[in-house]
């Protein structure tokens, strides 16, 4: 279920809870609406946290070339970068 489905659940739940006055025997429509809104909110938070974790990795613009020289611990082989 995507973000749109979660928003639809919230909207349907709000309509059932606040905009209807139907009486069905054995079914509490206010409770059903509240449950739908809670499930929609859980879906929205889950979707947004997953979307936040996705990262776009952009490749470097210049290729990294190893020249084959041995480097010291600080990354420089000739001592000028200290």
Q: What is the pLDDT of residue 15?
A: 95
Is 35 part of a structural domain of the chain? yes
Is 60 part of a structural domain of the chain? no
Is 68 part of a structural domain of the chain? no
- CA 54 – CA 16 distance, rounded (Å): 35
When pLDDT is averaged across residues 12-33 and rounded to a whole number, the result is 92
Is 63 part of a structural domain of the chain? no
Query: Is residue 59's pLDDT more than 60?
Result: yes
- CA 32 – CA 12 distance, rounded (Å): 10
- Does this model's pTM top 0.85? My answer is no
Is 7 part of a structural domain of the chain? yes
Q: Is 21 helix (H, G, I), strand (E, B) or coil?
A: coil
pLDDT greater at residue 70 or residue 3: 3
pLDDT greater at residue 72 or residue 20: 20
When pLDDT is averaged across residues 65-80 and rounded to a whole number, the result is 58
Is 62 part of a structural domain of the chain? no
- DSSP designation for 18: I
Note down the domain range covering 38: 3-53
């Amino acid at each position: 279920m995507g973000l749109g489905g979660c928003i639809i659940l919230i909207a349907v739940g709000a309509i059932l809870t606040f905009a209807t006055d139907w009486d069905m025997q054995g079914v509490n429509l206010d409770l059903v609406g509240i449950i739908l809104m809670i499930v929609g909110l859980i879906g929205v938070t889950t979707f947004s946290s997953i979307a936040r974790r996705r990262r776009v990795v952009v490749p470097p613009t210049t290729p990294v070339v190893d020249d084959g020289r041995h480097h010291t611990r600080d990354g420089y082989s000739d001592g000028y970068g200290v």
